[in-house]
Structure 1
Amino acid sequence: MTQLWDFAGGIHPAEHKHQSTGRPIRPAGIPQRLVLPLQQHIGVPAEAMVAIGDRVLKGQRIAEVSGGMGVPIHAPTSGIIESIARMPVPHPSGMDDWCITLKPDGEDQWCQRHPLPDYRTLDREEVLETIRNAGISGMGGAGFPTNIKLRPPRDRKVGTLILNGAECEPYITADDMTMRERADEIIAGLKIMAWILRPERCVIAIEDNKPEAIAAMKTAAEGTQIEVIVVPTKYPSGGEKQLIQILTGMEVPSGGIPADIGVMCQNVGTAIAVARAILEGEPLTRRVITITGEAVSEPGNFEALLGTPIHYLLSQAGLQEAQLNRLVLGGPMMGYTLNTPDIPVVKTSNCVIAASAQELPEPEPEQPCIRCGQCAEACPMELLPQQLFWHAKAGEFEKAEHLNLFDCIECGACSYVCPSSIPLVQYYRFAKGEIRVQQAEHVKADRARERFEARQARLEREQQEKELRRKERAKAAAEAQAKKKEEAEQAAAKGEAVDEKAAKAALVQEALARKKAGTPAVSEAQATATENTASAPDIPALEKQLTQAKSKLETMQSMLNDAKAQQADNVDKLERAVAKNHERVKRAEEALAEAGADTAPATQSTE
């Protein structure tokens, strides 16, 4: 016999399960409108992939999560997209959210499906991607995406896979009836998940108040290594952490997950969804939901399309408006009152209680705490509900968080036993919400600060790069100037024209002089030779030489001035070069004067 352990606290409320187990699961049919919220899971909301007026087929993907954690949403039947607008959705606050409204056409026409009967021959990542594309999220809790849950961290090997069929909360019988009627599908889904995880042990846990379900599951598990274990009826034994403690004796660490201790829990409804997705290629478009309470004449379980309005299911169960006092979505312990029956069935919906005034009377007015300590005795998480209540009421959220507020599973056991009728769970939910808002604001502020710091760093980097480029340009200009001065000094030492413009101007003047004289250019050496041979002087050539000499003189004088201002060590060289050019100018002027004197009488006689 398998050893079982117990968990701290817990209560035994009235079950009220017999009301909805007298009839088999009934198909709810197709309503006139299906309202599909884009947020049906933990994580990022899906984004619509269709437009108003589009016709879609059953199983067609109509919304997808483009980034982050989430799963897509599929059309539960064929029809026309009527609107994409904000509408009431299942939420304790009665909030509105974005929804796709589908008007069925009555044909219930399927899109193309791709079953994987030979999934064992495929890669596990491919099977996980198929589960994700089928839009499967946890159907017994908060709606965590199943493909992510089936992919634990590499350093955490799952040794025990638990299928949770405890269904401990009063009134709810959806899992009970599913196990009675669809045990084979549950076993098929469990086998697929076990093939993905390769655990050493597979367990189906059922409370001992469900004998028909226990018998059906044991029959379906014959010939396999799957264990069907009966656990004592005690609320909240169906809580993930409590069930793990019952079956293994281990406790999930505070702030941790079951995979931290090598355990994983899945819901029986999730197992059926996985089996249908892999073996039939059917995405998650329907689920079993309990409709019960004294205000309906035919309570029971219905297989409803996702998006089916609650009022449609109530009419199917024979709602008696005169007896209806309030509607509760979920169980009486963890559920919440609905503001309107127009909200739709979503992936995590498991029960609706149409309660009369006698069945679920209005809670008594809240009275002061008498410090009886019954809440602490009933808490299955061994917290301090009294202190958490005081801190939450006083707005001391940090102190409440320090007392492990987020370990609270909101089972409602503390509120159930409180003699002062204090809605403790509502205070805890409020405190958790405020802490999440503050954390979101801190994250927002941190991101804004990071963006500002990144901008400042970018501006500083750009300024540094600009300054570096300026220094490089200045350095290049200085090097070019130094090179130019060096070339000028070398040219001055050789008596050559360094200034390019001056050299070009000299060449132009020489060409003009040649054209004016109509004779070839005469070099300085040739002029000297001609003078020595006492031939007739060439006046245009001498004028040209005088011009060149003056140009060189001006250039050397300018360079001398620059050199005196910048480099004192080159002054002597330039002064010698200038003196030499002075001598040349003087000789050219004397030659020109002698030539003019020689030609004067001849010119007069010609006149």
Structure 2
Amino acid sequence: MQNLNQTKQKHTLHRFNGGLHLPDNKSQSLTQPLQKAAIPKRLTLPLQQHIGEISEPLVKVGDHVLKGQMLAKPQGYVSAPIHAPTSGTVVAIDVFPIPHPSGLPAPCVVIETDGKDTWGGQLEPMPDYMHVDLSILRERIRNAGIVGLGGAAFPSSVKLTPGLDNPINTLIINGAECEPYITCDDLLMQTQAERILSGITIIRRLVGAEKCLIGIEDNKPKAIRSLRQAVTDHELSWISVITIPTLYPSGGEKQLIKVLTGKEVPSGKIPATIGMICHNVTTAYSVAEAVLEGRPLISRYVTITGKGVAQPKNLEALIGTPVSELIAQAGGYTEQVSKLIMGGPMMGFTLATDEVPITKACNCLLAADKTESPDPQPALACIRCGQCAAACPANLLPQQMYWYARAKDLEKVQEYNLFDCIECGCCSHVCPSHIPLVQYFRFAKTESWAQEKEQRAAEKARQRHEAQLARKERLEAERKAKIRQKKEALSATKAKEASVKTASPDDIGEDPKKAAITAALKRAAEKKAKLAESGIKPKNQDDLTEAQKQAIKKVDARRSSHEEDATTTDEQGG
């Protein structure tokens, strides 16, 4: 009981600026137990379900794939693979509608399922993960395609590599689930507490944290009890399950860190810079599944709720399942439905159609009626009341940001820490003039990113142009140097020839060729004289033919002529 008491001991809580007390509307989807969604006839898998580079397909149309098989590999460091949620045949790799605020289509792999659900891509389980090399663990998490499942969808393997410059001492696990209507994390904590703790233990080993704080809002008593009991049963004294007040958006990463520790993440920085790292409970669960079971991320819990659906519930659905299929398995639409939202009412976005698939980042489908998500009223002029600033959990000045975003003064709006905005919607919710502030901020962010991308492209183009000019200048300099060297060599040759023509015999000296001939003749004469003195006659001259004798005479005559020339030259030179 000592450990259980430790988990219940009082923990000093802190408060972030602003925030809203909203009706949670969570009980509707918790009346039924978790169910597994049926396998649909077709799965549509977007190649980019994460922040970072799009995945590269590994399959082609007509391929038969097995459950868990990698369909697309990551490209670059910040990327994640995509796996087949079930067995079937690839029938298309093309652009299809996807759930996105822009409504634009994107590249997808489409699988026609065979209903057999045959495994083939399951990774090797690692039950002894405490003794596995850390690089192998990180590679497993990367190969399993795990991303942040709290909504950001940032590749988890990257986040689990904080680097030597950012030593981590505290692991924060986000179980707040502050958005109204959404209950998938709550139900996961109630039913999978031990597996979540296994994932937390793996994450702790990867980042080297000394302690772990699990923050859960006080409107989830069953989840709190379940996790505390699991911590007690396994005697994990380094884990504290902490109940925090229900206040939107306490589930924001920086806001949760402030509530649990009192520390603030500096503007423009990440939690690792203050020795902390934050992961969602569903992410921890998926890490455990990948390491302990070898199961890649191919399904997730999804809340289907709202007055526009007949039977609100939570389903464990395969990634790529059409939204229409999940709505049908929740009893279908009611007559009250007015719009379909992916996500919660505060940070979600409206879907133009339900013929789009769920992705790794999808945690809720809200079929709302007009009271749950009323149509926006006409925007009026800003009255400078300051309610937006009072509600902002990031301590920003939404009013000022709005003016500069509206004027498209991107540099100025960034001076007001635009990118610290978490787009929680608190400012828009309290604005008496009904100004869609978040939309302005999203626009400013998108324009800033586009402008930065253009600037990077222009800088690269400038560097390429400068490199090209430098190469041309170098080649031209080398060409001119070669021409100059040739001219200098030619001038030197001409000068030498001119000096030879104008020089006197005394300056020129003895011609090397004539000297060699003279020396050779001299040697021959000396040899002939020695033969004569010794009385030795040349051999083979007794029986010569007349032709041979004539040839010998010609040679002797030519030799005599050369000897005379050499003698004359010596005399002249003398």
TM-score by length of 1: 0.82
The answer to whether the 8 A contact 1:39-1:46 is kept is yes
CA-CA distance at 1:486 after TM superposition: 8.8
Q: 1:526 to 1:102 in 2, by over 3 A?
A: closer
Pairs within 5 Å for 1:455-470: 455-470=468-483
**Distance in 2 separating the partners of 1:238 and 1:128:** 26
Q: How does 1:473-552 map to 2 (within 5 A)?
A: 473-474=486-487, 492-494=508-510, 519-522=554-557
Q: Which of the residues 192, 201, 205 maps onto 1:182?
A: 192
Structure 1 contact 487–498 (Cα < 8 Å) conserved: no
The CA distance in 2 between the partners of 1:177 and 1:527, in whole Å, is 120
| 2:182 pairs with 1:143 | no
Residue 174 (structure 2) aligns with: 164
Letter in structure 2 aligned against 1:101? V
The alpha carbon displacement at 1:320 in A equals: 2.4
Whose relative contact order is higher, 1 or 2, with alpha carbons under 8 Å and at least 6 apart? 2
1:57 correspondence with 2:60: no
Q: Which amino acid is 1:290 matched to?
A: T
Task: Tell me the secondary structure at the aligned position of residue 87 of structure 1.
Answer: strand
Matched letter for residue 3 of structure 1: T
Shift of 1:81: 0.3
Offset of residue 153 of structure 1: 2.2
Q: Secondary structure at the match of 2:557?
A: coil
CA contact (8 A) 1:492 1:498 kept: no
Q: 1:88 offset after TM fit, Å?
A: 1.1
- Say which of 188, 193, 215 aligns to 1:205: 215
> Which residue number corresponds to residue 379 of structure 1?
392
Shift in alpha-carbon separation, 1:497–1:366, aligned structure 2, 3 A: same
Partner of 1:241: 254
Matched residue SS, 1:519: helix
- Supply the AA of the counterpart residue of 1:128: R
Does the 8 Å CA contact 2:228/2:241 hold for their aligned counterparts? yes
RMSD: 2.8
Return 94-103 or 350-359, whichever deviates more: 350-359
Aligned to 2:525: none
1:481 deviates by: 6.9
Unaligned runs of 5+ in 1: 501-513, 530-544, 553-576, 584-607
Note the C-alpha offset of 1:470.
3.8
Structure 2 residue 21 is the aligned partner of structure 1 residue 12: yes
Q: 2:124 aligns with which of 114, 130, 152?
A: 114
Corresponding residue of 1:564 = none
> What is the CA deviation profile of residues 196-241 of structure 1, one whole-angstrom value per residue up to 9, with x for unaligned ones?
1121111111000100100001011111121100001101100000
1:441, CA displacement in angstroms? 0.7
Q: How does 1:92-111 map to 2 (within 5 A)?
A: 92-111=101-120
Q: Which amino acid aligns with 2:92?
A: S
* In 2, Cα distance between equivalents of 1:267 and 1:421: 32
SS across alignment from 1:264: strand
Matched, 1:275 2:288: yes
> How far 1:343 sits from its partner (Å)?
1.3
Separation in 2, partners of 1:247, 1:108? 43
Bigger CA drift: 515-524 or 109-118? 515-524
SS of equivalent residue, structure 1 residue 386: helix
Give the corresponding residue for 2:57: 48
Going from structure 1 to structure 2, the CA distance change for 1:524 and 1:58 (only over 3 Å counts) comes to: closer
Separation in structure 2 between the aligned mates of residue 271 and residue 207 of structure 1, nearest angstrom: 18
Amino acid across the alignment from 1:173: T
Whether contact under 8 Å (2:34, 2:313) holds in the other structure is yes
Provide Cα deviations, 1:70-117, integer angstroms capped at 9, x if missing partner: 011100001000101111112111111000001111111111431111
Q: Determine the structure 1 residue equivalent to 2:533.
A: none
CA distance in 2, matches of 1:158, 1:140: 21
Q: What amino acid sits opposite 1:90 in the alignment? A: P
Which stretch of structure 1 is more off in the superposition, 463-472 or 130-139?
463-472
Q: How does 1:287-298 map to 2 (within 5 A)?
A: 287-298=300-311
- Which residue of the other structure, out of 356, 366, 370, is the alignment partner of 1:343? 356
Residue 544 (structure 2) aligns with = none
The alignment status of 1:215 with 2:225, answered yes or no, reads yes
Q: In the alignment, which residue of structure 2 is the partner of 1:332?
A: 345
2:240 aligns with one of 227, 230, 233: 227
How many residue pairs align between the two structures? Answer: 526
Aligned residue identity for 2:251: G
Q: In 2, Cα distance between the equivalents of 1:336 and 1:515?
A: 119
How far apart are the structure 2 equivalents of 1:92 and 1:293?
20
Q: Say whether residues 1:438 and 2:451 are aligned partners.
A: yes
Q: 1:129 aligns with which of 123, 133, 139?
A: 139
Which residue of 1 is the match for residue 35 of structure 2?
26
Q: 1:276-315 maps to which residues of 2 (within 5 A)?
A: 276-315=289-328
- 2:524 aligns with none
Task: Tell me the percent identity.
Answer: 48
CA distance in 1, matches of 2:21, 2:550: 126
Deviations 1:449-482 (A, max 9, x none): 0110011111112222333344445555666777
On the 8 A contact 2:20/2:247 being kept in 1, the answer is yes
Task: Answer whether contact 1:277 1:284 (CA < 8 A) is retained.
Answer: yes
Distance 1:353 1:526, change over 3 A: closer
Q: Distance in 1 between matches of 2:66 and 2:559?
A: 104
